[in-house]
């Protein structure tokens, strides 16, 4: 039993399960808005399973493909995919099983969700390749998480309305923006290994400027989402608070690079939760 728990903990570390907090709120934001309220326990369960299996696939595939790179990076050398705690075969089977699980869950959601399941897996898996030849990898990561709201609205309405696209574009720039800040930690390693990233190509100052621009675009597209989804007071409040939190995130990083982890995990984690809670309040109180 102890060995099983240890292995589970290793896989938890491999995929950084706690970081699911970045994608889960926005799939449910889209579901709440699409249903104009509660969307049912069935879709709640299927939504959680789909989001977790898709993310496990993406993280597992990334760790599998990056095990050679991670072994050369002091920041990642102790990850389970590098230090031998999880073998390449175990990673491959874990990734494959989660891909099958995602497709299986999508089948029980609706036809459109099922048809989109494999293309979604291809997109979220492509991030692992992009950084080997293009500094646009940050945006590909953004697109990967931006698929969450699209998946949420498809699950409820089997359609893709304009407001969900605007919400997703905002998520794309949000994720790409904070990934730029996070990747500042690896700028020297990326240069040494000839990996493509915006920090290694353009330097620290330009990277931070691009991140600011991405987060300004985030707020703009979330404001457009609020308008096009007929959001009431609390939806606009969610956008305003998000803008304040993103500003604080940049303040933290500008002031001290050692606070990148705090900016990345804490601020962005709370942002998604606050946004989700305010959307729920908006739906319950104002509509």
The predicted structure's pLDDT at residue 13: 65
The region of weakest confidence among 8-22, 60-74, 147-161, 193-207 is: 8-22
Number of domains the chain is built from: 1
Q: Is residue 3 part of a domain?
A: no
The predicted structure's pLDDT at residue 50: 92
pLDDT per position as a tens digit, 152-206: 999 999 999 999 999 999 999 999 998 898 888 878 887 887 888 888 888 888 9
| Interior/surface letters 36-52, b for 16+ CB within 10 angstroms, e for the rest | eeebeeebeebbebbbb
Averaged pLDDT, 1-24: 69
What domain range is 33 assigned to?
21-286
The distance in angstroms from the start CA to the end CA of the chain is 50
Q: Is residue 175 part of a domain?
A: yes
Distance of CA 182 to the CA centre of its chain: 13
Q: Is residue 225 part of a domain?
A: yes
Q: Is residue 104 part of a domain?
A: yes
The predicted structure's pLDDT at residue 252: 82
pLDDT at residue 266 is higher than 60: yes
The predicted structure's pLDDT at residue 228: 95
CATH code of 210's domain: 1.10.357.140
For residue 92, give Cα distances in angstroms to 19, 60, 62, 96: 21, 8, 11, 6
> pLDDT higher for 259 or 211?
211
pLDDT per position as a tens digit, 78-93: 887 777 788 888 889 9
Averaged pLDDT, 267-271: 85
Cβ-proximal residues to 156 (8 Å cutoff; 6+ apart), any chain = 30, 31, 34, 35, 39, 43
pLDDT at residue 287 is higher than 60: no
The predicted structure's pLDDT at residue 146: 93
Could you tell me the pTM of the whole model? 0.91
CB 211 within 8 A of CB 159: no
Kindly indicate the confidence band of residue 97, based on its pLDDT and cuts at 50, 70 and 90: very high
pLDDT at residue 110 is higher than 80: yes
Q: Is residue 4 part of a domain?
A: no
Q: Is residue 2 part of a domain?
A: no
pLDDT at residue 21 is higher than 80: no
Mean per-residue pLDDT over the chain, rounded: 87
């Amino acid at each position: 039993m102890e060995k099983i728990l240890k292995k589970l903990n290793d896989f938890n570390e491999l995929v950084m399960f706690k970081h699911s907090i970045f994608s889960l709120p926005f799939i449910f934001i889209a579901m709440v808005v699409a249903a104009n309220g509660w969307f049912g326990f069935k879709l709640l369960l299927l939504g959680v399973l789909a989001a977790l299996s898709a993310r496990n696939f993406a993280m597992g595939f990334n760790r599998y493909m990056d095990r050679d790179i991670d072994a050369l990076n002091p920041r990642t050398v102790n990850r389970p995919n590098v230090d031998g705690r999880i073998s390449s075969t175990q990673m491959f089977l874990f990734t494959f099983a989660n891909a099958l699980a995602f497709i299986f869950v999508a089948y029980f959601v609706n036809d459109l969700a099922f048809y989109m399941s494999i293309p979604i897996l291809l997109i979220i898996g492509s991030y692992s390749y992009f950084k080997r030849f293009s500094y646009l990898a940050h945006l590909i990561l953004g697109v990967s998480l931006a698929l969450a709201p699209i998946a949420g609205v498809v699950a409820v309405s089997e359609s893709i309305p304009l407001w969900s696209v605007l919400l997703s574009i905002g998520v794309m720039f949000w994720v790409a923006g904070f990934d730029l800040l996070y990747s500042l930690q690896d700028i020297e390693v990326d240069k040494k290994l000839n990996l493509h990233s915006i920090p290694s190509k353009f330097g620290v100052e330009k990277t931070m400027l691009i991140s600011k621009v991405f987060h300004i675009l985030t707020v703009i597209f979330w404001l457009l989402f609020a308008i096009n989804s007929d959001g009431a007071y609390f939806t606009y409040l969610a956008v305003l608070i998000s803008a304040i939190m993103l500003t604080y995130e940049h303040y933290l990083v500008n002031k001290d690079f050692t606070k990148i982890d705090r900016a990345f995990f804490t601020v962005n984690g709370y942002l998604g939760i606050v946004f989700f809670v305010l959307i729920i309040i908006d739906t319950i109180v104002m509509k």
